[in-house]
Amino acid sequence: MNLKIKNALISVSDKESISSLLRVLRKYNIKIISSGGTYKSIKKLGYACTELSKYTGFKEMLDGRVKSLHPKVHAGILHDRQNKAHKKQMSNQKFPPIDLIIVNFYPFQKVVMKTKKPKDVIENIDIGGPTMVRAAAKNFKNVTIITNKNDYGPLIKELENNKGKTSIKFREFMSSKAFGLTAYYDAMIANWFNNKLNIRFPERKTIFGRKLSNLRYGENPHQESSIYVSDYDDKKLGIKQLHGKELSYNNYNDLFAGLEILQSFKRKAATVVIKHANPCGISISKHPFISFKNAYQCDPISAFGGIIACNYKMNKKIATEITKNFLEVILSKGFDKESLRILKRKKNLRVIDISNFKYKNQMYIKSFDGSFLVQNRNNEIVRKKNFRCVTKLKPSKKELDEIEFAFNISKYVKSNAIVLCNNFSTIGIGGGQPSRVDSCKIAIQKARKFQPKQIAKAIAASDAFFPFSDGLDLLIKAGVKVVIQPGGSIRDKEIINYANKAKIKMLFTGIRHFYH
């Protein structure tokens, strides 16, 4: 059912692109009602417009908090044009219909990003706008609702094609977008209050997100996917792609894993190699090239088709090494001109600048069907001062620094996790296995294959305790001389005795790092 638009109410905080819409409204003799800054802008552009307070006969009050909240406005929006009783009531009150609502809200999210003053934030919680939008969206059978300037074009096309009318299909689609906006807006406000009051797990949890882009497909070609930004600054991720194909679902998944690991390294150059969201090489050093080389050599076969994430500026020497291998994505805190020129030789290589990325430490969410799990991030950095040496042999100060490095890497490897390290670099990683023994075997196998000379005197980190001595036995026989684990098993005493007999050093942290 196509309906002629006779009256439109326009109230927008963003006045951009409104002139093209006003031309079409005038062409089809659609009367305009507006208020405040929007009214002034419309008049300045040379279009006829009735001020809202004159239309309602009620002057706005409370510093503008009450202006559109009036029966003449909401009856004009909500009444059913096909309902005789509604039509009679409207006629008795002399209330004309309002057939088109064009509204965008107070810039709540922009204010939140600019100020920490609660008063300023609260004053930018829009009431009248969302109320009109909800009313119009509910009555889409009779009313057209536009909430985004990007929809001015489709509205103009709709009016031109239908000679001043809109179709039910168009109105219902715009209604769905409108309810999406009001839900999003309210969720942002609820989130602000929860953060302000330090409520991490509210009774009702609403996740808001704005679509950044559609992706070619999901984990597999038969799956659909998109990426959303759940933040007040919802139009960017803080990363900038400089070259290469569009990022895929799997690229983003790996990219996020790399960024999360990088944020734990502050002082030294760190390189992280990621494949299928799992690290397959991590190294820190005073020298970026050494960091890169050691991280990549941990498991060069697994690194094939993976991503590399760096917390330093990319240079020519490292870029040259990168182009010798097949990689999907390179993340770095900037690129010098020569390194960028070299990397761009690889047509499809995605080159990402992460200089402006800021880790926000948001909650971790896993969803399944009609439910989801929420937890805070595992940001626990276990320091050497908190270690407890449980064996007769004690580690040196230098060993303690590397033991700290090894254990804190284990939290980024899928459980059960075993990480072998030497010289502040991983030399073997075993993870994602139902059995800790299997993870030990994989870590040892990787080290023997790619870093055989580094196994002797290596450090082994386990994300959880050893329930039996079998996994420990494998590590000792491979050449491991130091083991760090959380402890807490009923067989801890047996494990400690085994370590003492083997003359290795063992430390307990009391902190578990499961990552499923």
* Contact indicator for 32, 50 with CB cutoff of 8 Å: yes
Q: Give the 3-state secondary structure of residue 268.
A: coil
Of 393, 417, 391, 416, which Cα lies nearest the Cα of 406? 417
**Whether 498 contacts 473, CB under 8 Å:** yes
Residue 72's pLDDT is 85
Last residue of a domain, one of 353, 374, 402: 353
pLDDT for the residue numbered 317: 97
How many other CB atoms are found less than 10 A from the CB of residue 308? 25
CATH of the domain at 442: 3.40.140.20
Mean pLDDT comparison of 48-62, 241-255, 352-366, highest-scoring range: 241-255
Give domain status of residue 278, yes or no.
Answer: yes
Task: Please give the average per-residue pLDDT across 72-97, as a whole number.
Answer: 87
36: number of Cβ within 10 Å? 17
278 plus 184 within the same structural domain: no
Q: Is the dihedral of CA 312, 317, 318, 320 positive or negative?
A: positive
pLDDT of residue 362: 79
Whether 269 and 283 have beta carbons less than 8 Å apart is answered as no
Residues 293 and 430 occupy one common structural domain: no
> Is residue 104 located within the same domain as residue 64?
yes
Please give the model's pTM, rounded to 2 decimal places: 0.88
Q: What is the pLDDT of residues 214-261, one digit of tens each?
A: 999 999 999 999 999 998 888 889 999 999 999 999 999 999 999 999
Residue 59 has pLDDT above 80, yes or no: no
Of 108, 421, 134, 379, nearest to 260 by C-alpha is 379
Order of strands, sheet of 100-103, starting from the edge strand that comes earlier in the sequence: 50-51, 31-34, 7-11, 100-103, 144-146
Is the pLDDT score of 344 beyond 80? yes
Indicate if 186 and 58 belong to the same structural domain.
Answer: yes
In a domain, 281, yes or no: yes
Q: How many Cβ atoms sit within 10 Å of the Cβ of residue 180?
A: 13
Same domain, 242 and 185: no
* Range(s) of the domain holding residue 274: 238-353
> Number of folded domains in the chain?
3
Hey, what amino acid is at 71? Answer: P
pLDDT attached to residue 327: 96
Of the candidates 353, 374, 408, which is a domain's last residue?
A: 353
Indicate the SS3 state at residue 311.
Answer: coil
346 and 397 share one domain: no
Q: Is residue 217 part of a domain?
A: no
Considering the domain boundaries, does residue 227 fall inside one?
no
Based on the domain organization, do 40 and 123 belong to the same domain? yes
Instruction: Let me know the angle formed at the C-alpha of 131 by 195 and 61, rounded to the nearest 5 degrees.
Output: 95
In a domain, 215, yes or no: no
Assess whether 274 and 168 both reside in one domain.
no
The arithmetic mean of pLDDT across residues 470-482, rounded, is 96
Residue with the two structure tokens 């088709």: 305
The angle at the Cα of 18, spanning 16 to 19, to the nearest 5 degrees, equals: 115
Residues 323, 389, single domain; the answer is no
Same domain, 7 and 146: yes
Count of CB atoms within 10 A of residue 45's CB? 13
434 inside domain: yes
Flag whether 216 is in a domain.
Answer: no
Helix axes 470-478, 436-450, angle to 10 degrees: 10
Percent of the chain with pLDDT over 70: 99
Tokens of 392: 């007769």
Per-residue pLDDT at 497 exceeds 80: yes
pLDDT digits (tens, 9 = 90+) for 114-149: 888 888 888 888 888 899 899 999 999 999 999 999
- Residues designated as active site: 138, 276
Q: Are 210 and 183 in contact (CB under 8 A)?
A: no
| Domain stops at, among 196, 225, 249 | 196
The bridge status of strand 482-485 relative to strand 505-508 is parallel
Are 34 and 10 in contact, with CB atoms under 8 Å apart?
yes
Cα–Cα distance for residue pair 136/92, rounded to 1 Å: 22
Domain assignment present for 401? yes
- State mean pLDDT over 366-389: 90
pLDDT band at 267 (very low <50, low <70, confident <90, very high): confident
How many angstroms separate the most distant Cα atoms in the chain? 97
DSSP 12-71: -S--TTHHHHHHHHHHTT-EEEE-HHHHHHHHHTT---EEHHHHHT---BTTTTBSS-SH
In a shared domain, residues 35 and 174: yes
Residue 349 and residue 362 in contact, taking contact as beta carbons nearer than 8 Å: no
Both 437 and 349 in a single domain?
Answer: no
Instruction: State phi, psi for 270 to the nearest 5 degrees.
Output: -125, 140
Amino acid present at 428: G
25-41, pLDDT tens digit by residue?
999 999 999 988 888 99
Residue 466's pLDDT is what? 94
246 φ, ψ (degrees, to nearest 5) = -65, 145
Predicted pLDDT of residue 91: 84
Concatenate the DSSP letters of all residues of 116-178 into one string. Answer: --HHHHHHT--SHHHHHHHHHHHTTTT-EEE--GGGHHHHHHHHHHTTSEE-HHHHHHHHHHH
- In angstroms, the CA 448 to CA 427 distance is 9
Q: What is the CATH number of the domain that holds 52?
A: 3.40.50.1380
Average pLDDT of every residue of the chain:
92
Whether 61 shows a pLDDT value over 70: the answer reads: no
- Radius of gyration in angstroms for the set of CA atoms belonging to the chain, rounded to a whole number: 30
User: CA–CA separation, 471 vs 462, rounded Å?
Assistant: 10
